Structure 1
Amino acid sequence: MEGEMEKLECRDEILAITKKLVGIRSEVNTEGERALAETVHDMLKSHPYFEANPSQLVMEPTVNDERERYNVMAYVKGTKGNSNRTVVLMGHMDTVGVEDFGVHQELAFKPDEWKAHLKSEPLPETVQTQAASDDWMFGRGVLDMKSGVASNLYLLSHYASNPELLEGNLVLIVECDEEDGSHGILSALKTLKRWQAEEGFDYVAAINADFVAPAYAGDENRYIYKGTVGKLLPSFFITGEETHVGSAFDGLDPNFIAAELTRQISYNPGLSDMAFGEATLPPVSLKQTDLKPNYTVQTALSAYVYYNFFVHSWSPEKVLELLKEQAHIAFRNALDTFEARYRKYNGISDGQENTIQWEPRVYTYDEMEELLKETHGEVYVQHMNAFKEKLEQDESLDSRMLAARVVEEAWQFMPDKRPAIIVFYSSLYSPRVALKGEDENERTLLDALDKAIEAVQPEYEHPIVAKNFFPHISDMSFVAMSDDMPEIDDMIRNTPSWGKKLSVEYQDVADLNIPVINIGPYGMDGHKRLERMEMTYSLEMVPNLTNRVIRHVLESE
């Protein structure tokens, strides 16, 4: 089947769709998201298939969202046989902002004019060459990821026009809010589950169309990804012992411990998660601060740090275990350094040395919670529930700072207030997805991908290479996951901000658990001013690779 399948001649059509989508501003958390959803809906609504089957096309508002925005979802039922096998195509319509375009923000949405303007700017040599080429398109969203959405729209329309070629069903999701809180895909799961119940869809594969880029300078590979990296935000509340700066060694500055913690964790390859021969980037600090409200000559009572943490195979529970160990090491190192410097200072000042009384103490949030419930009972529980409810009404607090305030308040109930570190999570967990070929759907999808690459590679000059983990955060994390629900429950118990501001129904993800891969447009500088997309791969290879995977998966039994 693979060798005989007709090649789709689709470059010009997908290019036209891409330009139309890019021309509509749809920065995340703006009215543009809704405007683009309406445009996509209208594009599909006018197709004869959806005129005849209007219930198979919906524009639905997101759920549990503070903003009014919408997903566009549709499905085509194939007439080649009676299979319920269903492939899901997915891609997001929102983009990051355009502040980096400066006075040329309007040109960000006009690819031809923007490219013409760039030719007058001093640019790096590679970018100059690409700007002079007819095969590169510049502009906000051309790469991330409106060309991918355009490819998916083309494929859905192709089968809407030719349902007799389709054995099984094809579902399209054009979701909002991928660049921030993933309200789009999390809302779409509800619709997928409803269609599963009403239409009997058997979801056997999902194909995301997020962008791919070189892995290193000079990398000529065009990557396809089987599964995706997961992301956590491990956070640390650090308490010290307050003192006047005139008696610095009488207390312990939590910022001193925080600095040692960051030295221990940031860029540490020992915290890279290796699976299938691929390593995650090590963690890096995203915030480091003390919690003093204003200036005083007292040292801080507490500090707060959090780190980006990617995973391939480690569960959230495993990451907390690892980081609890790292926190203990950092605490020990900080105390040893403190003691050595105290001795040295006394040696030059003729001071009298006191014995250092502190020892490293590290708890997970769940461990501290259990201790405080045992110690204080219902008084503690009721106080914390009321405190958290009040915090959740403060729109200025994001989930990360809300978590810090909850831990800070809980600490007030600790009977032993000697310096300590509390480890917890303070943001959304994007689950890891590892395709191991352990069930029939995974094996079929992986086989389909291999055959598609083999068939399309002769048509293209650069290597098309499959890797195991998409290296960026994407909505792939919310159609499948490799964690089990007890592991998710442990993560939730260690997330103090879980509730109104931060809540994900991971059971929906577990219920669907659709094997997912990423076949997306190729380019460079996503999220940057010089965002650009190579057209031959993105507008020709991507739809043909995706089409072959669709057909192979649906026609396999």
Structure 2
Amino acid sequence: MQWASKEQLTDLLCEMVQIPSISGSEAEKIFPTFVEQKLRTLPYFSKHPEQIELHDAGSGMRLLSALVRNKPEVRETIVLLSHFDVVDTSDYGDFQQFAFDPRRLTELFRSQPEVLPPEARHDAENGEWLFGRGVMDMKSGLALQMAMLERASAGEFAGNLLLVTVPDEEVGSAGMRAAVPALLALAERYGLDYVTVLNSEPGFPKYAGDHSNYIYKGTIGKMLPGFLCYGKETHVGEALAGLNANYMVSRLISEMELNTSYIEKVETDITPPPTNLLLRSLKNDYSVQTPYRAAAMFNLLMLERTLEETIESLLATANQAARHIEADYAVKARACADYAMISIPDLHIKVLTYEELHQYAVATYGQERVEALAGKALKVSGPAGDRDTTIAIVDELALLCKELGPMIVLFFSPPYYPAVSSRHDPFIQKVADELADYAAQRYGMKIGQENFHRGICDLSYVGTAGQSAALQLLAQNMPMWEKGYSIPFKELEQFIVPVLNVGPVGLDAHKWTERLDVHNAFVVMMDLLPACIHTLFHKHNAAIPESEPAAIQE
């Protein structure tokens, strides 16, 4: 066995981390070839080379699948899911050159503990923690899964294991969205029945100092709602004759930011309130014309709230902001009238969805003109990528339909992550309970059970029944839908599989103090993860090998 001991797995992890596979980089494109080369050193893949494949994920990216079959007649298959891209390293400051050299970085932190925050300092001095970009999120999980594949190739498990490792999880999950049709094709080709999609993302601490292991039965959802505010242009010398869009968007942000009505609670899982992620004034030059177009986007996390309910809430917030703007404008206009003879305009702000704006534009100006404007906007390339392009499309239609102004238009931007949970699945609940009992008996450790992984992850693209209707509503209000971004919702309706996340303990994902508990990852999890796989197969009526390893397909 080449990936069995703590030392061997640490070496493998460090090799993988040294490939700086930042999302969108050339290293991200070559990384799956490295994994392929490593896996092909296993004797099993010398006999079955066709069972490792690289699949196109768009923009030069590729995902990797590697299948180890127990016997030709065995259909039960566990999908081991992971991602290999990482976020950039600018947050490391003076230590950036060592961010992808875990051993060297850890030595530096151990020799200069004063540079670290107190908790990270303690872990550096502990000797069991490894620092570096990607050690936690999530190349340690990939290393564990490669070890499981090696054990499967030696006949340890009663069913098949299919490793799927993907790019782009940290940006838009293009890798996982491409993986769904690939998984369906692999099931058809090899006669596979998917028992579970088992992810190995690290757990997220619930409070400061939390070093607990968690089993997650799903993952939180994320959407990026946006509002385009279209006011009325005027000369700064006649400010009350217009409506400043920057003022409109500021009031909208005031209504949305940390709005507790959007907090969702499911058992012990609680979402954080929304927060603004992007703010744009669409006046790009300087002049004495007031800005009359602006846009804002918000991070909104969800658990079980439907898309219909969410849109209703967002429209209600926009209407509340609109009424506040109207009232405030009237008060200030009357106050200004005390100083000069001015007319007080009757201001009314419309609130509508992108779908409503689009339908009006097509009905009034024709499909051909609307499509031409969208094509023009699709050429817009800004620092926020798809977000800037989305705003450009909405802006073009708002400019075309200026007679509707002043208005607030609700739209959605990529990416969209559906919330997924198998918390009601008795099969998954039984496996989680048995794994927690095993950990308690074997290690005296308590494993927490959570319904949703709080770090957004690719389990969102494992299908659940009834997802198509919700995604169709999203598509109607997402300007970039099938114009560079889409979700394979038809395939998701065929890829309805229970999900589970069992991964190592790590801390500070996406921070310069990102680190991994190596003992937990490569000693404890090297016992718990195979125990989980055995239990999954056993609960799916597959025989667990008792003394002799199961025969491997030759």
TM over 0.5: yes
Partner of 1:75: 67
- SS of the residue 1:137 aligns to: strand
Aligned match of 2:544:
none
Q: 1:273 offset after TM fit, Å?
A: 2.4
| 1:419 aligned residue (406, 412, 417) | 406
The range that moved more, 166-175 or 215-224, is 215-224
CA contact under 8 A between 2:204 and 2:454: conserved in structure 1? no
Q: Distance in 2 between matches of 1:362 and 1:240?
A: 12
Aligned partner of 1:464 among 426, 447, 450: 447
Deviation at residue 415 of structure 1 after TM alignment: 6.9
1:191 aligned partner, one-letter code:
A
Moved more, 333-342 or 252-261: 333-342
Asked if the contact 1:82–1:167 (Cα under 8 Å) also holds between the matched residues in 2, the reply is: no
Q: Aligned residue for 2:551?
A: none
> How far has the Cα of 1:461 moved from its partner?
5.6
Once residues 82 and 70 of structure 2 are traced to their aligned partners in structure 1, the CA distance between those partners, rounded to angstroms, is 22
Does residue 1:542 correspond to 2:525, yes or no?
yes
Contact kept? 1:205, 1:515, Cα under 8 Å: yes
Contact preservation (8 Å) 1:232, 1:316: no
**Cα distance, 1:396 vs structure 2:** 4.4
Cα–Cα, structure 1 residues 455 and 419, in superposed 2: closer, same or farther, change >3 Å? same
Distance 1:106 1:459, change over 3 A: farther
Cα offset, 1:235, TM superposition: 0.7
User: Gaps (5+ residues) in structure 1?
Assistant: 1-7
Counterpart pick for 1:339 among 321, 330, 337? 330
- Residues 445 and 259 from structure 1, CA distance in 2 versus in 1: closer, same or farther, beyond 3 angstroms? same
1:318 corresponds to which residue? Answer: 309
* 1:486 alignment partner in structure 2: 469
* Equivalent of 2:118 in 125, 141, 144: 125
Q: 2:28 aligns with which of 29, 33, 38?
A: 33
Q: 1:339 to 1:461 in 2, by over 3 A?
A: farther
Q: Which runs of 5+ in 2 are unaligned?
A: 542-554
Question: Cα distance 1:37–1:415, how it changes in 2: closer, same or farther (>3 A)?
Answer: closer
Distance change in 2, residues 1:188/1:236 (3 Å): same
Matched residue, 1:477: 460
Task: Write the mapping of 1:43-192 to structure 2, written as runs, cut at 5 A.
Answer: 43-62=38-57, 65-66=58-59, 68-79=60-71, 82-121=73-112, 122=114, 123-162=116-155, 165-192=156-183
1:553 to 526, 532, 536: 536
Pair 1:390 & 2:376 matched: yes
1:289-331: per-residue Cα shift (whole Å, max 9, x none)? 2211211111112111110111111233321111000000011
Instruction: Select the residue among 345, 352, 355 that pairs with 1:363.
Output: 352
SS at match of 1:234: strand
Aligned partners of 1:231 and 1:473 also within 8 Å: yes
Three-state SS of the structure 2 residue aligned to 1:231 is strand
Change (3 A) 1:484 1:247: same
Deviations 1:490-540 (A, max 9, x none): 110101122332222222222212221211221211111111111222223
RMSD value, Cα: 2.1
Task: Sort the Cα spacing of 1:235 and 1:249 in 2 relative to 1 into closer, same or farther, 3 A.
Answer: same
Deviation at 1:128, TM superposition (A): 1.9
Structure 1, 87-96 or 353-362: larger mean CA deviation: 353-362
Distance in 2, Cα, partners of 1:215 & 1:452: 20
Displacement of 1:76 in angstroms is: 1.2
Of 501, 506, 520 in structure 2, the residue corresponding to residue 518 of structure 1 is 501
Q: What's 2:293 paired with?
A: 302
Describe the SS at the equivalent of 1:211. coil
SS at match of 1:219: coil
> Judging changes above 3 Å, is the alpha-carbon distance between structure 1 residues 291 and 482 closer, same or farther for their aligned structure 2 residues?
farther
Q: Which amino acid aligns with 1:148?
A: G
Deviation (angstroms), 1:394: 4.4
370 and 390 in structure 1: CA distance in 2 versus 1, 3 angstrom threshold: closer
Contact 1:456-1:544 at 8 Å conserved across structures: no
Paired amino acid for 1:365 = Y
Query: How far has the Cα of 1:286 moved from its partner?
Result: 0.8
1:410 maps to which residue? 397
Q: Matches of residues 169-318 of structure 1 in structure 2 within 5 Å?
A: 169-318=160-309
Find the counterpart in structure 2 of residue 22 from structure 1: 17
d(CA) in 2 for partners of 1:415 and 1:239? 8
Measure, in 2, the Cα distance between the counterparts of 1:70 and 1:369. 35
Q: Secondary structure at the match of 1:119?
A: helix
Cα drift, residue 222 of structure 1: 2.4
TM-score (norm 2): 0.92
C-alpha distance in 2 between matches for 1:364 and 1:69: 34
| SS of corresponding position for 1:207 | strand
Tell me, yes or no, if the aligned pair for 1:225 and 1:519 is still in contact at 8 Å. Answer: yes
Cα distance change of structure 1 residues 415 and 20 upon mapping to structure 2, 3 Å threshold: closer
Deviation at 1:82, TM superposition (A): 4.2
The verdict on how the C-alpha distance between 1:462 and 1:554 changes in structure 2, with shifts beyond 3 A counting, is closer
User: In the comparison of the two structures, how many residue pairs are matched?
Assistant: 535
For the 8 Å contact 1:89–1:171, the answer to whether it is kept is yes
Question: CA separation in 2, counterparts of 1:84 and 1:526?
Answer: 36
Aligned position for 1:373: 362
* 1:3 paired residue number: none
The residue number in structure 2 matching 1:435 is 422
Name the SS for the 1:218 alignment partner: coil
Contact 2:362–2:370 (8 Å) recurs in 1: no
Separation of aligned partners in 2, 1:199 and 1:520: 28
- Contact 2:421-2:452 within 8 A present in 1 as well: yes
Corresponding residue for residue 42 of structure 1:
37
- Specify the SS of the correspondent of 1:529: coil
Q: How far apart, in 2, do the equivalents of 1:33 and 1:374 lie?
A: 45
Deviations 1:330-377 (A, max 9, x none): 111122122222223333x2x23534411231001112222333334x
Distance change in 2, residues 1:400/1:432 (3 Å): same
1:14/1:482 Cα in 2 relative to 1: closer, same or farther (>3 Å)?
farther
Q: Does structure 1 conserve the Cα–Cα contact (< 8 Å) formed by 2:439 and 2:445?
A: no
State the AA in 1 paired with 2:21.
Answer: S
Q: For residue 4 of structure 1, what is the aligned residue in structure 2?
A: none
C-alpha contact (below 8 Å) 1:432/1:482 kept by paired residues = no
